[in-house]
Structure 1
Amino acid sequence: MDADDEELLTRSARDTDAFEALVIRLSGGLHGYLARRAPDAADDLLAEVWLQAFTGRAGFDADRGTARAWLFGVARNVLAGHWRRTAQDRPDAHRHEPDSSDPWHAVDQRLDAAALAPQLRDTLAGLPAVERDLLLLVAWEQLTPTEAADVVGIPAGTARSRLHRARGRLRTALTSPNSLRPAGEMA
């Protein structure tokens, strides 16, 4: 029987081969997460995730959550650092806007539903950062709400409540009569 991810991560503190197996198993999902959020830097960010995870692997506690959630938390922190550095490098960055380092304006370029993309983008951008992260971790990365809660650092019950609220806001925005109009067209 194969070892589960938690066992591999715990064992990797004394056996680096266990860490290698974890890298092989979970790189695809982590890379997808990073590629959807920072397509031009995903490869480098994934390398940074694995470097930080390897360095901090002894701090993993299976009683506090899954290895997958812990690794997505590392990825989220690496991504946030990338966005902070990117925003600092851009003199035209609007630092007074909340989450100005989070590139939500690029999400609609990767959506199949092009007609709804502007409204979806605006609705996602209008969500509080934690709700948006929860929604995307569950929808895109296929994490459970409990795993997503671990990633963003909130209790599972709170995550489920915020996820429900975020889904409701999206549902309302996408089912309103204006959601079927092309972008820029007035009622």
Structure 2
Amino acid sequence: MGVGVHTDLGQTDSEIIGRMHTDPESFGTIFDRYYPAIHGYVNRRLGQDLADDVAAETFLVAFDRWRRFDTAYESARPWLFGIASNLVAGHQRTEARRYRALARADQVDAVDGPAERVAVRLDAQAVRGRLATALEQITPPDREVLLLIAWGDLTSEEVAHALEIPAGTVRSRLHRARTKVRAALGGVDPTATKEDLR
């Protein structure tokens, strides 16, 4: 994910943003590239009711602040996730309520089908409830790092750039968050990423 993204014309995000002073409509390319990922991340954090608005607001903020983008970075992805994270932080009470609701959602709707499907669904809902409880108990800064990596699919370096914090801070916050998640889930870490497996 740390690689610069190119259009069909071979332009990086940095090149596109760099020409916005003469071609502001070029920002549409950045929107097209990253809206689905930003929307998905916000949806997982806040739910569908707020996802559309917060994702759209992310791009409005980015468009208004395009001059602040550091063109030394080819990809705008970490910058956009940083903006989205700041907007999500403004909705922390909503996020906390969402985790509490998910934690309580251990009841299963009536399901027609084989017993295996029911068992799998029960297991998934139980894990989801415990995960939501664990996420609610993690400090907001630690949770932010964990979810940018697990749900935003950012690398540690991209998270450091997005949140404007040192890479060592990212690693320590991630370690604390994962330790709590593993403890809540009996040693299982559903937040492990490809980067962890290397």
Which category describes the TM-score, using the shorter chain as reference length? 0.7 to 0.9
Whichever residue aligns with residue 105 of structure 1, its letter is R
Kindly report which structure 2 residues correspond to 1:17-166, keeping only aligned pairs within 5 A, or say none. 17-38=25-46, 39-63=48-72, 66-81=75-90, 83=91, 99-103=92-96, 104-108=99-103, 113-166=124-177
CA distance in structure 2 between the aligned counterparts of 1:21 and 1:51, rounded to whole angstroms: 14
Could you tell me whether the CA contact under 8 Å between 1:13 and 1:57 is conserved in 2?
Answer: no
The Cα of 1:175 is off from its aligned counterpart by 1.6
Report if the CA contact (8 A) 1:65-1:147 is conserved: no
Tell me the distance in 2 between the aligned counterparts of 1:105 and 1:12: 43
Give the superposition deviation at 1:162: 1.6
Question: Equivalents in 1 of 2:155, 2:102: separation in Å?
Answer: 22
Partner letter of residue 95 of structure 2?
A: D
Which residue in 2 is equivalent to 1:181? Answer: none
Shift of 1:79: 2.5
Q: CA deviation at 1:33?
A: 1.2
TM-score by length of 1: 0.74
Residues 43 and 175 (structure 1 numbering): CA distance in 2 closer, same or farther, change over 3 Å?
Answer: same
Shift of 1:76: 1.7
Deviations 1:77-115 (CA, angstroms, capped at 9, x unpaired): 22233x2xxxxxxxxxxxxxxx54533324556x98211
Q: C-alpha offsets along residues 107-166 of structure 1, whole Å, 9 cap, x if unaligned?
A: 556x98211223222211111111111111111111111112222331112101221222
AA of the residue aligned to 1:128: T
Q: Distance in 2 between matches of 1:156 and 1:114?
A: 34
Alpha-carbon distance in structure 1 between the residues aligned to 2:24 and 2:151:
30
2: CA distance between counterparts of 1:174 and 1:80?
25
> What does residue 5 of structure 1 align with?
13
1-side partners of 2:65 and 2:132: how far apart? 35
**Are the aligned partners of 2:12 and 2:75 in contact in 1 as well (CA < 8 Å)?**
no
The answer to whether the Cα contact below 8 Å between 1:34 and 1:75 also exists between their aligned partners in 2 is: yes
Greater than 6 Å deviation, 4+ residue runs: none
Instruction: Name the amino acid aligned to 1:146.
Output: E
Q: Name the Cα RMSD after superposition.
A: 2.4
Q: Report the AA paired with residue 23 of structure 2.
A: D
Q: Across the two proteins, how many residue pairs are aligned to each other?
A: 159
Structure 2: gaps (5+ residues): 1-8, 106-120, 188-198
The residue matched to 1:18 in structure 2 has which SS? helix
Contact 1:65-1:150 at 8 Å conserved across structures? no
Q: Is the 8 A contact 1:123 1:169 kept in 2?
A: yes
Normalised by the size of structure 2, how large is the TM-score?
0.70
1:14–1:107 distance in 2 versus 1, CA, 3 Å: farther
